[in-house]
Chain A
């Protein structure tokens, strides 16, 4: 099956933030409504960008940035959520393979087997968020966008767009086959360059083996708050590629060695010390 992807066109986004809540609506996040006044403990830190960060209940949020160039102000909006990388650090590092690529190319996860170990903080985009057990204070589960492929809430399998994409009034978000969107995204960026946006950039085309959320930007990625050259951290590569096999190998070699030792040493002991006597 062809990989699916989301194309975000920053030049079309008006920051209505429908996507931010569409995601909550569909995924039933924030279901408990506080009963007391001022029960939502959020504060405005001097920005439209609230809540300040992603959370287990906020899988996508709109970001706001202001820049000034040659006396002209620009108000830039961006989408922050899971990028569904092809070389996904979280998939790479997850000891239990609870985080995985599904057949649509999206990075989904199995909440039943997630132990909350937190290894997926390896994410170069800082996306996974964890719920704490209220009683013990121990992190229990990771949560993040699944491109609406969560089992039981899988819109893609039902032939629907992800909730955020459906919600977008200006079609700043598009959903479809990744190959098609790559072509479209490249074309849009080329058009932007012709229009004089010399720093225009198509983000996600090649980054981390290709993201499944791609960005048409009229400015450099850093201006939009995206890391210029995201990398899977070495420690994350080390995990599944080195540590886990090393664990199996060292453990295995040790047991093999001990087993061989037993056979050899037993023979030796019998022949050397107590010929003819069987042990116990």
Chain B
């Protein structure tokens, strides 16, 4: 039988079938694919920091774009951790401003209040300074019972500092002692 062109076209079902059949003979094992080359979505940072958790003092590199943290990983040059990090160090990025649990505003709780109120820095600093002065002045001991100048107050106490920077700790001591405070404690015992 002679096939016309039209016949051939009509038999295209058979043609498609052939293609299908060839497909089934194709080796199944897929070749290793080369990497799809895309520029890194994250940059590795340049600025260094020290882990705020325990006292090992591991180094980290922070990458930020427009002030927003995109990546934090161990500082490979740091002699102590050499780029490594434990689970807490690896979590540093979740301490960033992106964490909705971070405090963003000055908050104030009035006496007997059931909740917080948002306030401004100026207001808070004014009020805090007034409270400190009032409490200090009303419970200030200039001389003890033997007449020795002691210039102290027990009415104001200080707690904390181990999560702060050296310079801040130093200034806190300076401020506390200038105010005459004695009850000064931080995490060293806890």
Residues of A near any B CB (own CB < 8 A) = 16-18, 20-22, 24-26, 28, 33, 35, 91-92, 97, 100-105, 108, 110, 149, 151-154, 157-158, 160, 163, 166-169, 240-241, 244-249, 251-260, 262-263, 266-267
| Docked-complex contact A153 and B41, CB < 8 angstroms | yes
Of B33, B40, B44, the contact of A102 (CB 8 Å cutoff):
B33
B14 at the interface (CB under 8 A from A): yes
Assembly CA distance A24 to B90 (angstroms): 9
Do A263 and B3 touch (CB < 8 A)?
Answer: yes
* Residue contact B85 to A169, C-beta cutoff 8 Å: yes
Interface assignment of B36: CB less than 8 Å from any CB of chain A: yes
Distance between Cα atoms of A54 and B38 in the complex (Å): 27
Chain A nearest CB, measured from B184 CB (Å): 33
Q: Quick one: which of A149, A153, A240, A266 contacts B28, CB cutoff 8 A?
A: A240
B123 located at the interface, meaning its Cβ lies under 8 Å from any Cβ of chain A in the complex? no
Q: Per DSSP, are chain A's interface residues mostly helix, strand or loop, or mixed?
A: helix
A266 to B4, CA, bound (A): 13
Contact indicator B28/A25 (Cβ below 8 Å): no
Interface residue ranges of B1-38 to A (CB < 8 Å): 1, 3, 7, 10-26, 28, 30, 32-38
- Asked if B59 CB lies within 8 Å of chain A CBs, one says no
Please tell me which one of the listed residues B14, B19, B39 contacts residue A258 in the complex, with CB atoms under 8 A apart.
B14
Which B residues are in CB contact (< 8 Å) with A247? 24
**A154 interface neighbour in B12, B16, B40, B89, Cβ under 8 Å:** B40
B118 at interface by CB-CB < 8 Å = no
Q: A244 vs B26: C-alpha distance in the bound complex, in angstroms?
A: 10
> Which chain B residue has the least Cβ–Cβ distance from A254?
B17
Question: How far is B10's CA from A267's CA once the two chains are assembled, in angstroms?
Answer: 13
Task: Say whether A103 contacts B28, CB under 8 Å.
Answer: no
Q: Which residues of B contact A (CB under 8 A)?
A: 1, 3, 7, 10-26, 28, 30, 32-42, 44, 71-74, 76, 81, 83-87, 89-91, 93-94, 98-101
CA distance A241 to B17 in the complex (A): 19
Q: A149-B35, A168-B84, A169-B85 are in contact. List 17 more A-B contacts (CB 8 A).
A: A18-B84, A25-B90, A97-B30, A100-B32, A101-B33, A154-B40, A166-B74, A167-B83, A167-B84, A248-B21, A252-B17, A252-B18, A252-B19, A252-B21, A256-B13, A257-B14, A260-B11
Which residues of chain B have C-beta atoms less than 8 A from A153's C-beta? 40-42
A17, A152, A248: the one within 8 Å of B38 (CB): A152
Please state if B10 and A262 are interface contacts (CB–CB under 8 Å).
yes
What are 22 inter-chain pairs, A to B, with CB distance below 8 A? Answer: A21-B90, A25-B93, A26-B42, A100-B33, A102-B33, A103-B34, A105-B32, A153-B41, A158-B40, A166-B73, A169-B81, A169-B84, A241-B28, A246-B24, A247-B24, A248-B20, A248-B24, A255-B17, A256-B18, A258-B13, A263-B3, A263-B11
* Nearest chain A residue, comparing its CB with the CB of B28: A240
Q: Which residues of B contact A255 (CB under 8 A)?
A: 13-14, 16-17, 20
A108: min CB distance to chain B, Å: 8
B85 and A22 contact, CB distance less than 8 A: yes
Please name all residues of chain B whose beta carbon is closer than 8 Å to the beta carbon of A267 when the two chains form the complex. 1
Q: Hey, which chain A residues are within 8 Å of B74, CB to CB?
A: 166-167
User: A169 contacts B38, CB within 8 Å?
Assistant: no
Distance in angstroms from B11 CB to nearest chain A CB is 4
Assess whether B21 is in contact with A253, with CB atoms less than 8 Å apart.
Answer: yes
Partner of A103, one of B11, B25, B26, B32: B32
Q: Which residues of A contact B33 (CB under 8 A)?
A: 100-103, 108
